[in-house]
Amino acid sequence: MALILGIEGSCDETAAAVLSGETTVLSSVVASQLSVHGKYGGVVPELASREHLRSIVPVVREAMQRAAVTFDDLDAIAVTSGPGLAGALLVGLTYAKGIAFSTGKPLITVNHIEGHIHAVVLEARQKGTPVEFPALAMIVSGGHTHMFAASAAGSYQLLGKTRDDAAGEAFDKVGKLLGFGYPGGPVIDKLAPYGNPKAVKFTIAKMKSNPLDFSFSGLKTAVLRWSQANAVDEEVRVRKALLKTDPSPALEQWLAVTPQRTLDVLASFQHTVIEEILNHAEMAAEGLEGIRSIIISGGVACNAGLRLAAAKAGLGVPVHFPSPGLSTDNAVMIAAAAVPKFDRGIFAGMEAAAQPNLTLAN
């Protein structure tokens, strides 16, 4: 059973995890969720090297301690090499190289997007319902909206991606412009069941040249236009004031400051995004011969409305979601994506570079 330390630091989060074999998670630490994080500057997004530098040592140490293992016990060190922010990636990569060099253990570089896919593969195995291939893999998050055909774990073909905004970005921007703070995705998900999803008709343009591409920019703009036409300034002001007194208001507090028409818009907006995601999944699945499952991963996979709609959509094959903790950026997924590489002896050298534009497949 290989023991792998995974390190993730591609954008906002520094994370470390220890994985034993294919499915036994010995520890998973994410900097922003670490109680000691206060000491290191609170939950400021870790935009660049400086912030990651501050977190990486305590985060890796915490992961090793919780797993009760030492560097010498490890079989390999896995780290995200891209895509992401150059400065952020460099910190994780350099630190991982340092551990690999000093312990003589192999280094494995992992694509962040492949990590998201493996979060699902790992959990499906844990549940005893493994992902069967060929599969359709969708990554929907704040930074990515990508759809791949996976003939096997590790073999991907890009089917479509966003031409402008990522799905999670659309949620977060709509949340912000309506005064729900940033990122607003989780709040919209909570409030959407209280609105009428058919109240406002939003349309999304079909993509020329590749119908499997996505576009969410126009939808975001449509919500902006709605807010301008409906004089929402006063309610937005009230919600912003609420956020100042309480950075994470409870559902009842949000409902008290959100009129029905705005709940209807949130519900309609969320409904439109979900429909777009699931329509694309259906369209892509029809084109994949012998498809046996669908993977939906990334931060937007946390969306309860999406999970519910996917279950009801009758897509014909099992749809696998990660648990909320493994939907957003984490290091378990990086260690998990490294397992097949470890088994096949695909290791990186000390010259491995951070690749901000790394793609999974073209």
For residue 268, the minimal CB distance to another protein (Å) is 17
Q: How far is the CB of 161 from another protein (least distance, A)?
A: 7
Residue 83 binds another protein, judged by CB under 8 A: yes
Residue from 218, 324, 325, 340 touching another protein (CB under 8 A): that is: 218
Residue 348 tokens, joined: 């990186």
For residues 208 and 120, what is the distance between their CA atoms, to the nearest angstrom? 31
* Rama region for 319: left / alpha / beta (φ>0; ψ in -120 to 50; rest): beta
SS3 of residue 134 by DSSP: coil
The alpha carbons of the chain give a radius of gyration, in whole angstroms, of 21
75 to 79, 94, 343: CA distances (angstroms) = 14, 18, 11
Pairing of strands 3-8, 15-20: antiparallel
Query: How many whole angstroms separate alpha carbon 178 and alpha carbon 198?
Result: 19
Under rule CB under 8 A, residue 36 binds another protein: no
The smaller minimum CB distance to another protein, of residues 152 and 205, is found at 205
Longest dimension (CA), the chain: 63
Quick one: 221 or 279, whose CB is closer to another protein? 221
Q: Whose Cβ is closer to another protein: residue 36's or residue 47's?
A: 47
Select the residue interacting with another protein from 106, 115, 142, 197 (CB under 8 A).
Answer: 142
Residue (97 or 220) nearer to another protein, CB: 220
Residues 224-253 that bind another protein (CB under 8 A): 224
Shortest approach of another protein to residue 141 CB, angstroms?
Answer: 7
213 binds another protein (CB under 8 A): yes
b vs e for 58-70, b when ≥16 Cβ sit within 10 Å of the residue's Cβ?
A: bbbebbbeebebe
Which of 21-29, 42-50, 57-65, 305-313 is the region at the interface with another protein (rule: CB under 8 A)?
A: 42-50
Site for another protein in 157-186 (CB under 8 A): 161-166, 168-169, 172-173, 177, 182-183
Residue whose CB is less far from another protein, 108 or 166: 166
End-to-end distance of the chain based on CA atoms, in angstroms? 33
The span of 39-47, 242-250, 300-308, 313-321 binding another protein (CB under 8 A) equals 39-47
Binding mask 99-138 for another protein (x = CB under 8 A): ----------------------------------------
| Residue ranges in 256-315 that form contacts with another protein under rule CB under 8 A | none
Report the alpha-carbon distance of residue 166 to residue 138 in Å, rounded.
Answer: 12
Amino acid at 213: D
Using CB under 8 A as the binding rule, whether residue 45 contacts another protein is answered as yes
Q: Any contact of residue 220 with another protein (CB under 8 A)?
A: yes
Task: Considering the complex, state which of residue 27 and residue 55 has its C-beta at the smaller distance from another protein.
Answer: 55
Q: Which is nearer to another protein, 77 or 306 (CB)?
A: 306
Q: CB-hemisphere CA count at 13 Å for 222?
A: 20
Binding span for another protein by CB under 8 A among 125-133, 214-222, 239-247, 304-312 = 214-222
Asked if 8 touches another protein (CB under 8 A), the answer is: no
The Cβ of residue 244 has, within 10 Å, a number of other Cβ atoms equal to 9
Contact 79, 92 (CB under 8 A): yes
* Shortest distance in whole angstroms from residue 216 CB to another protein: 9
Whether the link from the prior residue into 134 is cis, omega within 30° of 0, is yes
In the complex with another protein, the residue whose CB is nearer, 27 or 49, is 49
Q: Which burial class, exposed, middle or buried, applies to 33 when counting CB atoms under 10 A from its CB (0-12, 13-18, 19+)?
A: middle
Are 218 and 225 a contacting pair, CB within 8 Å? no
Burial zone of 37 (CB within 10 Å; 0-12 exposed, 13-18 middle, 19+ buried): buried
236 phi and psi angles, rounded to 5 deg: -65, -40
Among 7, 11, 64, 192, binds another protein (CB under 8 A): 11
For binding to another protein (CB under 8 A), which residues are involved?
Answer: 11, 44-45, 47-51, 83-87, 141-143, 161-166, 168-169, 172-173, 177, 182-183, 209, 213, 217-218, 220-221, 224, 356-357
